[in-house]
Amino acid sequence: MPRTTPPPGAPCWFELASTDPAASTTFHHKLFGWTTVDMDLGPMGTYSFLRNSNGTVGALCSLPPGAPPHSSWNVYFGVTDADAAARRARELGAHVVAEPFDVAEHGRMSMLVDPAGAPFCLWQSRSPDAGDFVMFEDHAIGWVELASRDAVAARDFYVGLLGWDCETSAAPIPGGVQYIECGVGGTRYGGILPMTAEWGEMPSHWSIYVLVPDADACVARATEHGGKVGVPAFDAPGVGRIARIDDPTGAGLYVIRLNRG
């Protein structure tokens, strides 16, 4: 897979903030074969870059001070100007949790919550390329998904903030809801899933999908190594076989074996 910087507006980084980084690291190594390259951040702890056999797929770290006491994956979206994007997000109804700040010489970021309550991050990179960051291959992220309490408002928010190109999927998914696919520059990066009453009181949230050659084998490995199955493996017509897995600290992600042919 070519190492190219995702265009502005696209997801550009994925980060697991864990209550137990060591347990999360071991679990994902067993699940996907990921290895880590650690960066010592002094008082802030260790920042671990997660790698598959071809490159870097994301990172893992401990919870930052003041964060809610649960593990979760954070999705970052690339922007050309983090300060302007944060101002625009606020105008569109978002809550800015952390105003834009510098991350050493690497870039500038901010943390936000969209109008329907889903946390996300913005990232302004100062690097001219993406290094060895990879997506869209086995054991890397190939899709992001927003489960939203107000899918139409969420679509309008991200279109206004990130310039997404969105369209409603041709076929409704189980439950009769309409899935919204979202892209940037002609590439589909994710979708918006309307949350129904069956979701209970769960808040709006972003999730990642990791591409795998065998979703059922991932489910088996997850349970063997202390994970839990949030959604058992099922076939999504025309898409692939999907399951949701939680690591031992409760951080969840989806695995998907795409229909290729």
**SS3 sequence, the chain?**
CCCCCCCCCCEEEEEEEECCHHHHHHHHHHHHCCEEEEEECHHHCEEEEEECCCCEEEEEEECCCCCCCCCEEEEEEECCCHHHHHHHHHHCCCEEEEEEEEECCCEEEEEEECCCCCEEEEEEECCCCCCCECCCCCCCEEEEEEEECCHHHHHHHHHHHHCCEEEECCCCCCCCCCCEEEEECCEEEEEEEECCHHHCCCCCEEEEEEECCCHHHHHHHHHHCCCEEEEEEEEECCCEEEEEEECCCCCEEEEEEECCC
pLDDT at 42: 77
Which pTM was predicted?
0.94
Single out the residue of 49, 21, 11, 15 nearest to residue 247, CA to CA: 21
Token pair, residue 258, equals 């795409």
Residue length, the chain?
261
C-alpha 221/C-alpha 124 separation (Å) is 36
Tokens 């056999």 belong to: 53
Residue-by-residue pLDDT tens, the chain, 261 positions? 334 578 999 999 999 999 999 999 999 999 999 999 999 877 778 899 999 999 999 999 998 777 778 999 999 999 999 999 999 999 999 999 999 999 888 899 999 999 999 999 999 998 766 678 999 999 999 999 999 999 999 999 999 999 999 998 866 676 678 899 999 999 999 999 999 988 999 999 999 999 999 999 999 999 999 999 999 999 988 899 999 999 999 999 999 999 975
Mind listing the domains of the chain with CATH numbers?
A: 11-125 (3.10.180.10), 141-258 (3.10.180.10)
Tokens 């369209």 belong to: 167
C-alpha 137/C-alpha 226 separation (Å) is 25
pLDDT at 41: 77
pLDDT at 260: 76
pLDDT at 175: 66
Q: Cβ neighbours of residue 66 under 8 Å, at least 6 residues apart?
A: none
pLDDT at 69: 84
